């Protein structure tokens, strides 16, 4: 069974292009250091007749949408090893990148998940 880091991010629609560039760098870096899969997905249909909607959970501001992203690893130990390498990669330590984040980091939701069912 694999291990997954999952993210939900409220994103101003005006920042989609900037976010996509940042996500491409993320994909390249995580995959280079051993991630098994990397996906960044932009909300397309978030009207949900069951449960709470993403717009409610993420407390959307006007003009925002959502990103659902995940990175797949062999195990939590593998995730920790890959993430350590990613965080020390020069591409991820550009101070300008942190100043220009296309979303509010304080509103991002993140968690590590152990897979319990896989195809």
Residue 51: per-residue pLDDT = 86
Which CATH code for domain 3-94+110-114? 3.30.70.100
Task: Give the sign of the dihedral formed by CA 21, CA 43, CA 27, CA 30.
Answer: positive
User: Cβ atoms within 10 A of the Cβ of 36, count?
Assistant: 15
User: Cβ atoms within 10 A of the Cβ of 66, count?
Assistant: 21
- Tokens 């991630």 -> residue: 35
pLDDT digits (tens, 9 = 90+) for 48-101: 778 888 888 899 999 999 999 999 999 999 999 999 999 999 988 877 766 788
Domains of the chain, residue spans: 3-94+110-114
Q: Whole-model pTM?
A: 0.92
Buried b (16+ CB within 10 A) or exposed e, 88-99: eeeebeeeeeee
pLDDT digits (tens, 9 = 90+) for 11-62: 999 999 999 999 999 999 999 999 999 999 999 998 877 888 888 889 999 9
């Amino acid at each position: 069974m694999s291990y997954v880091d999952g993210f939900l991010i409220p994103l101003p629609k005006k920042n989609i292009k900037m976010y996509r560039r940042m996500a491409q760098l993320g994909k390249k870096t995580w995959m280079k250091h051993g991630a098994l899969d990397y996906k960044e997905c932009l909300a397309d249909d978030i009207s949900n007749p069951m449960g709470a909607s993403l717009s409610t959970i993420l407390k959307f501001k006007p003009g925002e949408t959502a990103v659902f992203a995940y990175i797949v690893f062999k195990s939590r130990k593998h995730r920790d090893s890959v993430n350590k390498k990613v965080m020390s990669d020069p591409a991820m330590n550009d101070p300008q990148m942190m100043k220009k984040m296309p979303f509010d980091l304080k509103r991002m939701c993140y968690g590590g998940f152990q897979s319990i069912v896989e195809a």
